[in-house]
Structure 1
Amino acid sequence: MWSAEDVARDSVRRQGDGLPLTAVGERVAEAAVREQEAAERALVGGTFSEYEAEPERVAGIWAAKHVEWRRVRDLMAQCSWSRYEPDRDVQGSEWARSRAERRQAVLSGHAADLVRRQDERDELRAELWLSAGPSRLIRVAADRADLRPVEVLAQLAERVVVGEDGRVSVPPFSPSR
Structure 2
Amino acid sequence: MWSADDVVRASVRRQGEGLSVAQVADKGAEAERRERETRQQLNSPAVDRGPYDVDPEDLAEQWVARHAEWRRVAALMDGQGWSVYSTEQDVQGSTWARERDEQREGALARRAAWQRERQDARDELRAQVWLSADVSRRLRAITARTGLEPEQVLAQLADRVRIDDDGALTVDAFTPH
For normalisation by structure 2, the TM-score amounts to 0.91
2:25 maps to 1:25: yes
Which residues of 2 match residues 140-155 of structure 1 at below 5 A? 140-155=141-156
Within 5 A, what are the aligned runs for 1:105-144? 105-144=106-145
Counterpart for residue 11 of structure 2: 11
Is the partner of 2:12 in helix, strand or coil? helix
Question: How much is the aligned-residue C-alpha RMSD, in angstroms?
Answer: 1.7
Aligned ranges 1:20-169 → 2 under 5 Å: 20-42=20-42, 44=46, 46=49, 49=52, 53-169=54-170
Q: For the structure 1 residues 42 and 155, does the alpha-carbon distance in structure 2 shift closer, same or farther, using more than 3 Å as the test?
A: farther
The code of the aligned residue for 2:55 comes to E
Q: Deviation per CA, 1:31-82: give whole Å up to 9, x if none.
A: 1111222333445363695xx6432222211110110000000010011000
- State the SS of the aligned residue for 1:87: coil
* Segments ≥4 residues shifted beyond 6 Å: none
Deviations 1:108-142 (A, max 9, x none): 11111111111111111111221211111111111
Which sections of structure 1, spanning at least 5 residues, go unmatched?
Answer: none
Alignment partners' CA distance in 2, 1:55 and 1:25? 25
**What's the CA shift string for 1:129-170, capped at 9, x where partnerless?**
212111111111111111111111111111121222222222
Aligned with 1:127: secondary structure?
Answer: coil
**Contact preservation (8 Å) 1:48, 1:54:** no
Q: 1:76 & 1:30 partners in 2: Cα distance?
A: 18
- For structure 2, list consecutive stretches of 5 or more residues without a partner in the other structure: none
Q: Which amino acid aligns with 1:80?
A: G
Deviates more, 1:110-119 or 1:165-174: 165-174
Q: Give the aligned residue type for 1:92.
A: G
Most deviating of 162-171 and 36-45: 36-45
Q: Take 2:8 and 2:36, find their aligned partners in 1: how far apart are those partners?
A: 16
Aligned length: 174
CA distance in 2, matches of 1:153, 1:166: 20
Matched residues in 2 for 1:39 and 1:164: separation?
A: 75
State the alpha-carbon separation in 2 of the partners of residues 30 and 134 from structure 1.
81
CA 1:98–1:48 in 2, change beyond 3 Å: closer, same or farther?
Answer: farther
Could you tell me how far 1:84 is from its partner in structure 2? 0.4
On the 8 A contact 1:48/1:55 being kept in 2, the answer is no
